[in-house]
Amino acid sequence: MNNIDLNKQVANDWIKSFNAHDLEKLISLYAEDAIHYSPKLKERQPETKGWVTDKAALSAWWADAFERLPTLQYELKNLVVGEQQVVLEYLRIVEKELEMMVAEFLEIENGLIIKSRVYHG
């Protein structure tokens, strides 16, 4: 499998895992020392300045999100796949909240996400 096909598979697995709230599968897509930025993280945990820096911190962040937002779902709108990066555009859907467009940038190396950054619109 070439990098583009592998990266597309990682992106699709990411969306499926998130929508299933399958934390174990989601975290398995990341390298041990992966870093992630989210404005929601910055808002909820200002001391982080929006960054988490390993799988344990990512796991804790998303476990909290899944618990707080049991209806959270992402509707994929666009997927752009390159040799080392993927851009996902999706609609964030949570019951009783306004829908929000989101762009997620994944940097992938050897089939694992090493860096991700999310932008909410």
Mean pLDDT for all residues in the chain: 95
Mean pLDDT on 48-73: 94
Instruction: Show Cβ contacts of residue 66 under 8 Å, excluding neighbours closer than 6 positions.
Output: 21, 23, 72
How is the beta sheet containing 100-109 ordered, strand by strand?
A: 51-52, 30-37, 112-120, 100-109, 85-93, 73-81
pLDDT(102) > 90: yes
- The pLDDT, as a whole number, for residue 1 is 79
- The pLDDT, as a whole number, for residue 93 is 97
Question: 10 Å Cβ neighbour count for 19?
Answer: 15
pTM > 0.85: yes
